[in-house]
Amino acid sequence: MNSQPAICAGTVADWARTYCAAHGSAKGQHDDTVDFPLHIGIFAPDEFALGEFGGSRSTYADSRAPKNWPGAPVYVQSDALTPDRQPLTFECTENGNDRWCTTSYPWKDGANLNYTFRASRDDVAEKGKRIDAEARKFLSGFQPRP
């Protein structure tokens, strides 16, 4: 699908700029040079069978009991904190010179945030922090203003 999303037409709001740049550069080709998630999910953890979509209540909590089989994901922790005051932690799997990473954490009003991105092995924590900031900024545009 190459059509431009409505929020990217005309004057683009600040909260949507990175999303629109990512959409424009990717055009279905999975170009992830822009700091925006490849996938975002918002879910109520008590309402989902978490394994059905790969989500978790908290990748930080998952990292406290790491998996240790061959090819198991690795956990990368950043120095940023999630809204529940835990370290922003990514579960990553190797993919050539890159890592495919995901994170899940309690986000807002009983909902959890989950997203996926790709980064070089050396850049997971820093790129993850940038992507987290952009994802939250983007989602704030859909929230009612007081």
Model confidence at 75: pLDDT above 70: yes
Residue 126 C-beta-side C-alpha neighbours within 13 Å: 4
Could you give the percent of the chain with pLDDT greater than 90?
A: 43
Looking at residue 114, what is its pLDDT?
A: 92
User: What are phi and psi for residue 125, nearest 5 degrees?
Assistant: -65, -45
Amino acid 1: pLDDT? 46
E-strand stretches of the chain = 39-43, 74-81, 87-95, 98-108, 111-120
What's the chain's average pLDDT? 85
The whole-model pTM stands at 0.84
Q: Per residue in 23-40, pLDDT tens?
A: 766 555 555 677 889 888
Nearest to 54 by CA among 73, 82, 68, 69: 73
pLDDT above 90 (res 110): no
The pLDDT of residue 119 is above 60: yes
How confident is the model at residue 52, as a pLDDT? Answer: 64
pLDDT at 32: 61
3-state helix, strand, coil in the chain (%, to 5): 30, 30, 40
What confidence tier does 63 reach under pLDDT thresholds 50, 70, 90? very high
